[in-house]
Structure 1
Amino acid sequence: MTLRGFDGTAMELKDYQSRVIKDLTDFLSYLEELKDIRAAFRTYWDDRGATRMEAYKNNVPGVPHVCVKVPTAGGKTFLAANALKPIFDVVVPESTGQPRVVVWLVPSLTILEQTERNFADPTHPYRQRLNTHFKGRVEIYGKKSLLQGAGFSPDAIQGQLSLILMSFDSLRARNKDDRKIFQENGNLATFDVLDADLLESADPTALINVIRALRPVVVVDESHNAESDLSVEMLVNLKPSFILDLTATPRNNSNIVSFVDALALKKECMVKLPVIVYNRPDKTEVVNNSLQLRRKLETLAIAEEKITGKYIRPIILFQAEPKTGEEKETFQKIKATLVKLKIPEAQIAIKTADVNELKGVDLMSRDCPVRYIITVNALKEGWDCPFAYILASLADKSSAVDVEQVVGRVLRQPHVVAHQEPLLNMSYVFTASNRFMDTLDKVVKGLNRAGFSDRDYRAVLESAVESKVPDSAHPDLFAPPPPAVPEAPATTEYPTVEEEIDVERLQGCVADGGTTESESAGQPAVEPDTTLEQLTAHATEANQEFTKKAKDADSSLSPDLEARMNRYPIKSIYLEEARAIAIPQFFIQVPAGGFFDEAEKLALLEKENLLKDFRLSTCDTSLNFEGIDAEAYRVDLEQTGKDDYRPSFKKIDSRQKALLNAHILSLPRDSQVKNMAARLAEMIGNMYPIADREILAYIKRIMEGLTAEQLHDCLERDYSYVAKIKQKISELSTDYCEKVFGDWLTTEKIVTSPSFKLPEFIAPNLMGPTIANSLYMSEKKANGFEERVINDIANLPNIQFWHRNIEKSGFRINGFINHYPDFIIRTISGKIIILETKGDDRDNSDSVRKLKLSNAWEKQAGRQFRYFMVFENKPIDGAHKLADALGLLGQL
């Protein structure tokens, strides 16, 4: 199903958004495997080389609480909508039959209304994505409908995704209205709330207790607003099973699992970067430059629309300086100044804390005339208009212009495309300040608030722009500034706007006019000003440099992440040869995806391709549970113990477990089988790409074959039974993959193609000792036998360099299993050797599969490539003893 954006274009995940979802899914895999939040977080980052990542902060004990750092305009809401399915696949698998409930928290009523409107709209991409992931069974609830119990009952929420939208204040309970969710509520009496779920400060029938009983997944939008002790208490009160934070500016208690950099957004045309910051001599020139640039942008936008059909109406945000007691007068005077310049009043709007002339106005509509918005700091989170291009500060010259709150509002890119005219791909800030460096600091802070940095703006100083000497007949609006004066002390005396902005000097800037295209909506074209040309030339040059940087950058590695890694480069003497290496991997032909395109393309072979027609529910169910001994029983007892870092959705209190077991045993056998199958399927969790329903059906068949005594034993030792069943499923699926892989090789459905490139930097979590001829400045630590092997190989006279392959991020032989060999070696003659070591004392149960896959790879890879599996003394068939391997390698 293809989702459509606001302008009808397809709305799919951008590359960086897909990477965020993969990051989250990878973390969830670690969580499933280790069943310890702290260990999962540490291992997740260690395996990626981010050894300087801060330790996990256990904000809500027993609840995984992670954060995604995404800059403003990065599509946080769409990301969260896509994140819900992988989270629920782990937290509440479909096979459990339990309700799937989300509490989606936002910081303001503005954002709440906007979010509710979008999710309730069946044509909106957010809702379409939820419908796709949850089979169309999605219901949206606001606080009011919940309190009334409207469509919210145990039967209604069964089998659907229930999305509850609330503001932070609803849960902080500061006033009487917000207290309602903590008060008695007969409308919710049909919900069965256990004593263990009750919040002491709330009535047993209160909405908050119903939510607690449902163990929701919590999404916290703009989570930097929810760091206080009160906000953490708010999260604890919800008794969530999982918490996902989304913010541009994570706080100190955030557990970040994915970073998105500004360059990734620029590459995907999500933002108008860089921000070009101009410092002008006075406020008159701020207004003049802003008006002329806006007129130029609209002229360019009209011309571009004729080619692309995409409508843009550039808007200026005039930011007045707050002056106690005079705000209303100040805004009205700015508006009066613009009207004197013959700008139609309909094109001007005021948006302040007290005056909101934008309420109900669709700024993106072609019918909307607004081109100028006057504000102070009222355009905060939740206000959004991609047409806002220019921020013009009218603060005093002696002030460091406080653009921090507003600069993020001019960053979003219209239509999310690269416009043909470069000036339409940037945003602009004009100021007139003697404290320009302080102003730039405010710009940086504003970018920081939006999730960007000091790398994302370019300053154009007055010295970079030539100005003409003014004359009385035609005053120059771009004259150099007067000499700098000492910073003025704070004062309560303010000159009026009329005294600071010389309307007479601006008369040539905006003239009479209608709204024809040639006159650019009330502003007829005038002879281009040379200074404006210089300013836009600087902007164009900055855009070219920034765009190239975005194109060339590794957007998967943000500076935030890089700062937490120990990175080591390829040694310069090997760089040329290393860059030339492309190690083959297995590929499969897949449809190209074009609407009318019948052609196919190559895609990296994954296990999910091989398992496409795998039906677990029909597979062999023979299992021997007799081997579950006392040691395994001890493990079962430990799994039910208390641990603040064990995910609460994986915990079962021992007393509750005993009661639940007794209840199940009191049921008829069919019901016992059904309940046990559901419990074990939930404990097994996600085994993608095998469907939950296939796992449930398979386990049910196993349960049906158990005796009454075995069913009772399974209830007591469920973790041990789960381990055996999961191992059986893995073996069955791998056997199936191996057969399909062999068939596809025979029929040439699988091919090899040069693919894997050695990265120019690596970030090993543990550094090994210095061994001759290593490819990188430092290599990942190897175990004892591995170290001995590579030391012997590295000292062979024909070896040019070697590299310790990094599992999960390095080269893999992809097939019916993913095999990450230990070493990649290059000989002086150019042979590439892939080497796997196996100690005689190790469990080598997977060695046969690895060798079979690797032999198939070697046959397909070509004469340049060799594979060796090396044992110390006792090789399996087809592998080598170390001494024999050294003799062969020395001859290559």
Structure 2
Amino acid sequence: MELKGYQEKALERLGDFLRAAQEHDVAAAFAVHAHPDPKTMLAPDYRPLRGKDGAELPSLREVPYVAIRIPTGGGKTLMGAHFIRCAAENWLDRDRPLVMWLVPSRVIKQQTLDALKNRRHPYRQELDDAFGGQVSVFDSDDIEQLTPQELANRTCVVVATMAAARVQDIDIRDFYAHKEALEPHFIALPKAEVFAELEQADGGSGPRFSFANLLRLYRPLVITDEAHNATSELSGTVYERLAPSAIIELTATPDMAASNVLVRVSASQLFAEEMIKLPVLLEEHLDGWDVALRHALLRRQELEEIAKKEADYIRPILLIQAEHRGGEATVETIYEHLTGEDGERIDKEWVKIATGDQRQLDGIDLFAEDCSVRVIITMEALKEGWDCSFAYVLCSVSGTKSATAIEQLLGRVLRMPYARTRSQPVLNKAYAHVVSPYFGAKAVEFTDHLESMGFSRLEAAQNLPMQPALIPGGDERPALMAETIRFTAGKKPDLANVPAGDLASIRIEPAVEDGKFEVVVQGAIQPESVEAIAKLFSGKTRDSVRTSLEQHNTRAQLRETPAQKGVKFEVPQLSIKFGDRVVPVENDLLVEDGFWNPADSAGTLDTLTFDTRTQTWEIDLVERAVKMKMVQEPQAEYLSGLTGDWQEADLLVWLESKVVQNDVRQETMVEWIARAIAPLKRKGYSLGQLVRGRFIIARRLLALLDEARAQRGNQAHQRLFALDEVVVDPAVVFSFSNLAYPMRSPCPAPQEWPKHYYAVPGDLPYRRRDGTPAEEYRCALAIERNPDVEVWVRNLPHPTQFRFPTATGSTYPDFIAKLKDGRIFVIEYKGDDRYDHPKNVAKRAVGELWARKYSNGIYLMPREKDDEGRDIDQQIANAIART
């Protein structure tokens, strides 16, 4: 399965981090490669794993422990399969790693096992592709089936629940039990140092033949799926017992106080990559569950008719969340209402029940064209282990307080069929119908649910617009103000110190219950007013009220953006003429076609050395020496066949498979590799040492190839400035999407951006570590307040954004503005300390080339102060005035 852009970036960042961790230490590598804090866009501090007493666990200090944050619908589990290959090649240095895959429940465990054992499933296909089909998947309940031969020769993935390993008394869990069937793994162990690493059997007669001890021997890669469910005071202790070589957590909502978030994917990125349906159009129904259900059915029917216009088969499905027994709208009541003579009279074959007692979906392929299912009634049974991107409409008639149930059901309707945008716009959206006590009540609640699913607060508010209830053919009910929120309190709030402007927005009314009051807030209010209302409550309720008011403020402050109004924002591109054709410039258009020989420009490994005492490789660079220590495994000394039957030809073929390039012939690459590693042989390193360090050697070969490719790219890039065929044709334009803006995080500044093309600028640092405004933020403010600017956008380093070609790929200017006179203004901000860096000199050159070729184009790289002493505002104004 071809990965989406954000998935490729996540893999790339994990690989960069793991390689850097080998060269430095884990904390230093994290500081360089971790997802930045949204406020400062700087990496947070690395948090080591701690035990239940809060103390750092020394044995895990150098074990990479990171979280990959991907919202619901982003394919976390698929990414887990790809992360195995990435970790094996960039940290574990093993062809056949052992993987411990932890999941939060037995339901998800079975689902994961089914997927990984199915050779036609994308998860298993990725593993087979990565490891040549030499893959074995085990249930942790069947660990006796593991053999030493399989662990030595195959990639083994063991799926277990976190609960199976999370226990204080190790004798009461099968995970830690002594098993005679595992004895072959231990009989060849040396008796001294390795034994000390293991938990001992009763009486101290030797190691316990347990799966936990087996994992200690093989230092597994640990992948924890839905990691937010694994957080507890024992989790660090569990990880320590598993003696992992690395820990990768997958979650939509990491514990930000304890997790090391290496990669943070936003809902906006998922939408830009066509993975999820947005927005979720919310209808609140005050007239009872039967009215909500009627509207939901009509919506599903409308979508099915529209879906017939699509090239792909889509059968929209309605999910109904019923009430538990004793409620008014139970599963049985809704089923009778749908299929009975006095109800909706829906064909019974269309309706299925999925609860703990009734599992009518078992064995049904919901994607099959001959499947008749269009309505699924559940309570909470779909919250785990169920997925169908045909789900479009959610109708919740339940008063459940289970946030997890709502979030999991809402997550079902977010997934986009076939993961691509549909030609019919209504099929790119999701729909929710809910029973509500008053209009606007569920909007804030559902905003909270979307946040829990990995959306930022702004993303959640933006993508949950309120819809007036409407039955086709009937009259539209007038919508009340969606930005109204209310609370029932035991006393009146003290409004003496709230801003005067907020007094009109806060209304106090007698509650139905005697002696209590309704506090009604309409429109956005200031922080002082939020606190005045929150003080009416205590404990967790106060925190909940404060959060609800902050979410309400976000919703109330939303404005209709130029993008939502359909304003076109187009930028002519730097292009090249090929006869009558004009196409945007990409560097590969300038590089000579055909195969090339690395021997012509790539160097050799003459500066690479190996210290046999410390098992450390060292590369001597011009400015420093970089050390790369191989990960040690307790069983490495006794595993047979580590270099066993390897011949030099085998090593060359293996290295070629790791550095393969599409534009280099295989025989040419093998010849260059032999030449590149020849200095190591001349230094006297044995074949066994080279085989042991083959992963590090492969990474150094890739670095040499990258350097050679960069030289070729730089030579090609210089042709840009000499070719008359390079033009800026106003007919060849880049257009910013009026739907998708792939920001990782919205700018957190308390600032309105009325001229910005989208609701807020994305990935814009707000404060430095010292609390002063960030430079790029001040540049954005200068653009926003410039009177000549009509609309502008914070351009993002993403393939869907505007870019210029560079010698090594592309550069994405920081800001693009459209002036009131129609000119396009491209701005790339750089601080004084980076202004004259060679990379930025090259960026200026290509930006200025674009401006020279385009009569309506302006390019500027402003700084804090320019050579004339002008500040950012003055530099921008001067650039506009002089051209």
- 1:4-57: CA deviations, max 9, x gaps? xxxxxxxx1122222222332333343244x21112212335989955553211
AA in 2 matched with 1:40? A
Residue 390 of structure 1 corresponds to: 393
> 1:819: how far off?
13
Residue 424 of structure 1 corresponds to: 427
Residue 57 of structure 1 corresponds to: 47
Residue 169 in 1 paired to residue 158 in 2? no
Partner SS state of residue 364, structure 2: coil
- 1:383-414: CA deviations, max 9, x gaps? 21222222223246999998455322222122
Residue 229 in 1 paired to residue 233 in 2? yes
Q: Distance in 2 between matches of 1:339 and 1:429?
A: 22
Q: Please point out which of 682, 691, 706 is paired with 1:705.
A: 682
1:672–1:761 Cα change, 3 Å? closer
Instruction: Report if the CA contact (8 A) 2:765-2:776 is conserved.
Output: no
Q: Please point out which of 121, 124, 149 is paired with 1:124.
A: 121
Residue 22 in 1 paired to residue 28 in 2? no
Q: Distance in 1 between matches of 2:472 and 2:608?
A: 89
1:749–1:695 Cα change, 3 Å? farther
Q: Distance in 2 between matches of 1:459 and 1:618?
A: 56
Partner SS state of residue 586, structure 2: strand
Residue 313 of structure 1 corresponds to: 315
How do residues 484-495 of structure 1 correspond to structure 2 at under 5 angstroms? none
Q: Distance in 2 between matches of 1:27 and 1:215?
A: 19
> 1:179: how far off?
0.9
Residue 550 of structure 2 corresponds to: none
Residue 297 of structure 1 corresponds to: 303
AA in 1 matched with 2:682? G
Q: Distance in 2 between matches of 1:402 and 1:831?
A: 47
Residue 89 of structure 1 corresponds to: 89
> 1:703: how far off?
5.1
AA in 2 matched with 1:460? M
Residue 486 of structure 2 corresponds to: none
> 1:225: how far off?
0.8
Partner SS state of residue 778, structure 2: coil
Q: In the comparison of the two structures, how many residue pairs are matched?
A: 671
1:812–1:38 Cα change, 3 Å? farther
Q: Please point out which of 251, 260, 265 is paired with 2:265.
A: 260
Instruction: Report if the CA contact (8 A) 1:218-1:240 is conserved.
Output: yes
- 1:649-696: CA deviations, max 9, x gaps? 85669xx99x97xx99xx9xx999999x99xx99xxx99989999999
Residue 186 in 1 paired to residue 197 in 2? no
Q: Please point out which of 591, 598, 609 is paired with 1:614.
A: 598
Q: Distance in 2 between matches of 1:607 and 1:86?
A: 30
How do residues 353-392 of structure 1 correspond to structure 2 at under 5 angstroms? 353-392=356-395
Instruction: Report if the CA contact (8 A) 1:72-1:450 is conserved.
Output: yes
- 1:256-314: CA deviations, max 9, x gaps? 1222222222233322221111122222311221222222222223x32xxx4422332
1:291–1:741 Cα change, 3 Å? closer
Partner SS state of residue 394, structure 2: strand
> 1:227: how far off?
1.0
Q: Please point out which of 280, 284, 290 is paired with 2:290.
A: 284
Instruction: Report if the CA contact (8 A) 1:100-1:159 is conserved.
Output: no
How do residues 177-256 of structure 1 correspond to structure 2 at under 5 angstroms? 179-180=174-175, 182-187=177-182, 189-190=184-185, 192=188, 194-200=194-200, 204-251=208-255, 252-256=257-261
1:618–1:742 Cα change, 3 Å? closer
AA in 2 matched with 1:135? G
Q: Distance in 1 between matches of 2:827 and 2:572?
A: 9
Q: Distance in 2 between matches of 1:860 and 1:41?
A: 37
With normalisation by structure 1, the TM-score equals: 0.59
Residue 322 of structure 1 corresponds to: 324
How do residues 512-661 of structure 1 correspond to structure 2 at under 5 angstroms? 602-603=586-587, 613-614=597-598, 650=630
> 1:210: how far off?
1.8
- 1:565-591: CA deviations, max 9, x gaps? xxxxxxxxxxxxxx9898x89x9x9xx
Instruction: Report if the CA contact (8 A) 1:386-1:413 is conserved.
Output: yes
> 1:224: how far off?
0.7
AA in 1 matched with 2:320? F
Instruction: Report if the CA contact (8 A) 2:616-2:630 is conserved.
Output: no
Q: Distance in 2 between matches of 1:836 and 1:396?
A: 54
Q: Distance in 2 between matches of 1:615 and 1:103?
A: 41
Instruction: Report if the CA contact (8 A) 2:98-2:221 is conserved.
Output: yes
Instruction: Report if the CA contact (8 A) 2:46-2:260 is conserved.
Output: yes
1:769–1:253 Cα change, 3 Å? closer
Instruction: Report if the CA contact (8 A) 2:599-2:672 is conserved.
Output: no
Q: Distance in 2 between matches of 1:19 and 1:182?
A: 41
- 1:159-207: CA deviations, max 9, x gaps? 5432222222332369999515532232451455532542458953222
> 1:834: how far off?
13
Residue 109 of structure 1 corresponds to: 106
1:46–1:614 Cα change, 3 Å? same
> 1:222: how far off?
0.9
1:815–1:175 Cα change, 3 Å? same
Q: Distance in 2 between matches of 1:610 and 1:737?
A: 17
1:621–1:364 Cα change, 3 Å? closer
Identity score, percent:
25
Instruction: Report if the CA contact (8 A) 1:275-1:428 is conserved.
Output: yes
Q: Please point out which of 423, 433, 436 is paired with 1:433.
A: 436
How do residues 733-772 of structure 1 correspond to structure 2 at under 5 angstroms? 734=707, 738=711, 763=765
> 1:84: how far off?
2.7
1:611–1:601 Cα change, 3 Å? same
Q: Distance in 2 between matches of 1:432 and 1:836?
A: 53
Residue 870 of structure 1 corresponds to: none
Partner SS state of residue 269, structure 1: coil
Gaps of 5+ in 1: 4-11, 470-475, 490-543, 555-578, 590-598, 640-645, 780-805, 821-829, 840-846, 867-892
AA in 1 matched with 2:778? M
Q: Distance in 2 between matches of 1:609 and 1:109?
A: 54
Structure with the bigger RCO (C-alpha within 8 Å, sep 6+) is 1
Q: Distance in 1 between matches of 2:315 and 2:597?
A: 52
Q: Distance in 1 between matches of 2:851 and 2:562?
A: 39
Residue 73 of structure 2 corresponds to: 73
Larger Rg: 1
1:291–1:176 Cα change, 3 Å? farther
Instruction: Report if the CA contact (8 A) 1:606-1:815 is conserved.
Output: no
AA in 1 matched with 2:414? L
Q: Distance in 2 between matches of 1:724 and 1:417?
A: 40
1:614–1:120 Cα change, 3 Å? farther
Instruction: Report if the CA contact (8 A) 1:241-1:649 is conserved.
Output: no
Q: Distance in 1 between matches of 2:185 and 2:833?
A: 60
Q: Distance in 2 between matches of 1:412 and 1:726?
A: 37
Instruction: Report if the CA contact (8 A) 2:107-2:385 is conserved.
Output: yes
> 1:228: how far off?
1.0
AA in 2 matched with 1:138? V
Partner SS state of residue 162, structure 1: strand
> 1:477: how far off?
11
Q: Distance in 1 between matches of 2:471 and 2:271?
A: 30
Q: Distance in 1 between matches of 2:261 and 2:184?
A: 39
With normalisation by structure 2, the TM-score equals: 0.59
Instruction: Report if the CA contact (8 A) 2:389-2:415 is conserved.
Output: yes
1:166–1:455 Cα change, 3 Å? same
Q: Distance in 1 between matches of 2:106 and 2:164?
A: 10
Instruction: Report if the CA contact (8 A) 2:92-2:631 is conserved.
Output: no
Instruction: Report if the CA contact (8 A) 1:286-1:430 is conserved.
Output: yes
Residue 271 in 1 paired to residue 260 in 2? no
Instruction: Report if the CA contact (8 A) 1:674-1:700 is conserved.
Output: no
1:638–1:835 Cα change, 3 Å? closer
> 1:104: how far off?
1.9
